[in-house]
Amino acid sequence: MIPSAFPDKTEIARLTARMLLEIEAVHFNAETPFTLASGLPSPTYIDCRKLISFPRIRSVLMDFMAVTVMREAGFEAFDNVAGGETAGIPFAALVAERLGLPMSYVRKKPKGYGRNARIEGAMSAGSRVLLVEDLTTDGGSKLSFVDAIRETGASCGHTAVIFYYGIFPETEQTLGDHGVQLHHLCTWWDVLAEARAAGAFDAGTLREVESFLQAPRAWQEARQRG
């Protein structure tokens, strides 16, 4: 079923943050920071993959994503929904079902045998493709997926994610310079606000998280020097 009537963007962000907190996908640890894929420290970590195990929350969030994309990009803007390997694959399938569109997925690199393909599923030249992922930090990982889609002759000018860090100012510029518009449901700021409202973490931890969100690069550099 194609969703059509849902809350405004602010309420979608609040509810998404609440759901992520409820399933304990959000982790804050100021004393022993997490190590990100970049190798840099962070007092925050989010695991959007957990969502696939919670059918009620998963269903609502995919409705939110479908309606967000239609509102921001257009109701007849796409011909195909592609998931990025691997976290984006289940969410792409669920969004494609809601939009009534074919689904495909993009490998991080060619599989090395058979057709040596990066695109799995049917994707034709001229198709307008929506790239779906679980989250984005600085937008860099999306570019390889977008390029692989474009190599088929299809176009890809939009990517949709459940969670957007929202703390690195270069992210949307990086994507925009590549001709890609970002659509998202919530950010760390939304999660921090909801965590405070719910009393989900102690005040000291929330203060440290806010310090990181306000100046992430400076926070990381200080911890690395320490």
Q: What is the DSSP string of 131-182?
A: EEEEEESSSHHHHHHHHHHHTTT-EEEEEEEEEE----THHHHHHHHTT-EE
49: pLDDT strictly greater than 90? yes
Mean pLDDT taken over the chain: 92
pLDDT for 2 equals: 77
When pLDDT is averaged across residues 101-127 and rounded to a whole number, the result is 86
Query: What confidence tier does 139 reach under pLDDT thresholds 50, 70, 90?
Result: confident
55 versus 226: the higher-pLDDT residue is 55
Tokens for 79?
């011909």
38: pLDDT strictly greater than 80? no
pLDDT for 133 equals: 97
Q: Which CATH number is 9-214 given?
A: 3.40.50.2020
pLDDT above 70 covers what percent of the chain?
96
pTM > 0.75: yes or no: yes
Q: Which long-range contacts (CB under 8 A, 24 or more apart) does 95-104 make?
A: 95/62, 95/65, 95/66, 95/69, 95/130, 95/132, 95/160, 98/1, 98/2, 98/3, 98/62, 98/63, 98/66, 99/2, 99/66, 99/69, 99/70, 100/2, 104/80, 104/129
Omega cis (within 30) before 152: no
What's the length of the chain? 226
